[in-house]
């Protein structure tokens, strides 16, 4: 085989491989969209003023066993990391718009939503199931057995890919990403207050166990849990 022919064969193989990878990526995206659960549109105004929500905000560690609506979950997710303007900006500020946060909804008692772990996709305001079944007890065990949280109807979980921010800001990402979690968590606190719900932020947990329970991807680090329910 001549050098020219060999080169042509190699180029052809490379093009075929690229086409297969591209087709696989498109197929995966189409499958995810097919599985996606559309969420109710977020409410952009409400009866409670910001000042009233700030006054009502507090940490809750006792919940009833009431279910929450899918609209409640949708509103909390939007508050945490939803898109709030046409340019794609989000409800919480992000250093350089690098958006390292990943939001996981752990549903236990949410009406019209089967129990399971779901990844929130801000751009399309929808959910993709990552693990079926009620795993709240597993998450509570991973959070150093803070058993009071087991009665929460759902959990909002914050994880982050630090590399997204580090690619632009280097080691400062270790400071910027936790700042961003703080902004997003306060949004959830205030939204919960506006919905007459209770929550608190949990930072005490075993990282490895939480990663396993939620099936986080390599490079995703869990940073905080927020159990949410009706205050008791």
Q: Is the distance from CB of 58 to CB of 199 less than 8 angstroms? A: no
Q: Using 50, 70 and 90 to split pLDDT, how confident is the model at 150?
A: very high
- Bridge partner list, 63: 231
Q: Average of pLDDT values for 164-188?
A: 98
227 pLDDT more than 60: yes
Strand segments, DSSP code E, in 54-182 are 101-107, 116-121, 126-132, 154-160
22 pLDDT more than 70: no
Q: Using 50, 70 and 90 to split pLDDT, how confident is the model at 68?
A: very high
18 pLDDT more than 80: no
CA-to-CA distance for 171 and 116, rounded, in angstroms? 35
Q: Using 50, 70 and 90 to split pLDDT, how confident is the model at 11?
A: very low
pLDDT given for residue 35 in this prediction = 85
CA-to-CA distance for 137 and 145, rounded, in angstroms? 9
28 pLDDT more than 70: no
Count CB atoms within 10 A of the CB of residue 209: 16
pLDDT given for residue 32 in this prediction = 52
63 pLDDT more than 90: yes
Place of tokens 């559309």: 38
Output the pTM of the full model. Answer: 0.85
175 pLDDT more than 70: yes
Strand segments, DSSP code E, in 113-216 are 116-121, 126-132, 154-160, 198-199
In sequence order, what DSSP letters do the residues of 78-94 get, joined into one string? Answer: HHHH-B-STT--BSS--
8 pLDDT more than 60: no
CA-to-CA distance for 218 and 174, rounded, in angstroms? 17
CA-to-CA distance for 104 and 213, rounded, in angstroms? 11
pLDDT in tens, 116-149: 999 999 999 999 999 999 999 999 999 998 999 9
How confident is the prediction for the chain on average, in pLDDT? 89
19 pLDDT more than 50: no
Local structure of 85: helix, strand or coil: coil
């Amino acid at each position: 085989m001549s050098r020219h022919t060999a080169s042509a064969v190699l180029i052809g193989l490379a093009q075929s491989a690229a086409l297969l990878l591209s087709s696989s990526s498109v197929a995966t995206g189409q499958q995810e969209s097919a599985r996606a659960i559309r969420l109710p549109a977020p409410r952009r105004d409400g009866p409670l003023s910001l000042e009233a929500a700030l006054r009502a905000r507090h940490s809750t560690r006792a919940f009833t066993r009431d279910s929450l609506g899918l609209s409640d979950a949708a509103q909390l997710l939007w508050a945490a990391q939803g898109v709030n303007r046409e340019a794609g900006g989000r409800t919480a500020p992000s250093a350089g718009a690098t958006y390292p946060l990943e939001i996981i909804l752990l549903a236990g008692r949410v009406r019209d939503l089967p129990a399971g772990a779901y990844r929130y996709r801000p751009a399309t305001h929808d959910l993709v199931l990552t693990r079926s079944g009620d795993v709240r007890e597993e998450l509570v065990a991973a959070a150093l057995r803070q058993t009071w949280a087991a009665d929460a109807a759902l959990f909002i979980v914050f994880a982050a890919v630090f590399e997204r921010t580090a690619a632009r800001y280097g080691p400062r990402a270790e400071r910027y990403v936790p700042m961003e979690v703080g902004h997003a968590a306060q949004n959830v606190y205030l939204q919960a207050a506006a919905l007459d719900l209770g929550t608190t932020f949990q930072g005490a947990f075993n990282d490895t166990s939480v990663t396993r329970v939620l099936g986080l991807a390599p490079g995703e680090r869990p940073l905080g849990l927020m159990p949410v329910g009706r205050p008791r």
